[in-house]
Structure 1
């Protein structure tokens, strides 16, 4: 399973103008509301917020990765947003966030969930990839970037 296989153009939003962490999470959840893998949007929201309360998903390097293992989805769900304005996400490095991924996987897909978190972190953690994502002007450009960057990565 690759990022490019999970991410679709309707789950990519570029240059969002929001002002708070809660607005970002709400927007990310609204982006995936109609995703065919989402069975229960309210439960998904509860599970993502519960995970966020345990510890901020601001992972550093201007990236946030709200996520949940949940029975609210029947298959992995992934969304991506770039932010027009940096937002405080209580990140581990105390840096504001500009790039946000939302990942939700079914409860029984723990190994895949961890591998996807790792893959997203490894790719988006590279400065050259972050710069290209932030400069992207279309969802197709984002998908092409992941296609190119993942061509040498093994399948999960």
Structure 2
């Protein structure tokens, strides 16, 4: 399973104008609302917020990765957003964020969940990749970026 196979233009939002961490999480959950893999939106919200309370998912390098292993989904669910302005997300490096990934996977898909988290952080950890993502003006550019970057990656 590649990141680009989980995405469609419907789950990509660019240059959002948001002011708080809670607004970002709410916006990400709104982006995936109606996704075929979500069976319980309220539980998904609860589990993402619970995970965020355990430790910030601001993973550094201007990236936030709210995520959950949850019974709220029947398949992996992924959304991506960029922010127009940097935002404090209580990141581990104390830097603001501009790129947000929301990932939710079924509880029984622990290995896949960890592999997807690793792949996202590996790709987004590269400065050139982040710049291209932030500079994207259309969802198709984001899809093409992941397709190009993952062409030589094995399936998860």
Shorter-chain TM-score: which interval?
over 0.9
Q: Report runs of 4+ in structure 1 exceeding 6 Å deviation.
A: none
2:125 aligned with 1:150, yes or no?
A: no
Q: Provide TM-score, normalisation by structure 2.
A: 0.99
Which 5+ residue runs of structure 1 have no aligned equivalent? Answer: none
- Give, in whole Å, the separation in 2 of the partners of 1:92 and 1:70: 24
- Give, in whole Å, the separation in 2 of the partners of 1:155 and 1:126: 20
Which 5+ residue runs of structure 2 have no aligned equivalent? Answer: none
SS at match of 1:103: strand
Shift of 1:59: 0.2
Shift of 1:52: 0.0
Q: Which residue of 1 aligns with 2:121?
A: 121
State the Cα deviation string for residues 31-76 of structure 1 (Å, max 9, x = none). 0011000100000000000000000000000000000000000000
- Give, in whole Å, the separation in 2 of the partners of 1:136 and 1:14: 7
Q: Aligned ranges for residues 1-156 of structure 1 at < 5 Å?
A: 1-156=1-156
Shift of 1:147: 0.2
Please tell me the root mean square deviation across aligned C-alpha atoms, in Å.
Answer: 0.3
- Give, in whole Å, the separation in 2 of the partners of 1:30 and 1:137: 20
Aligned length: 156
Q: Provide TM-score, normalisation by structure 1.
A: 0.99
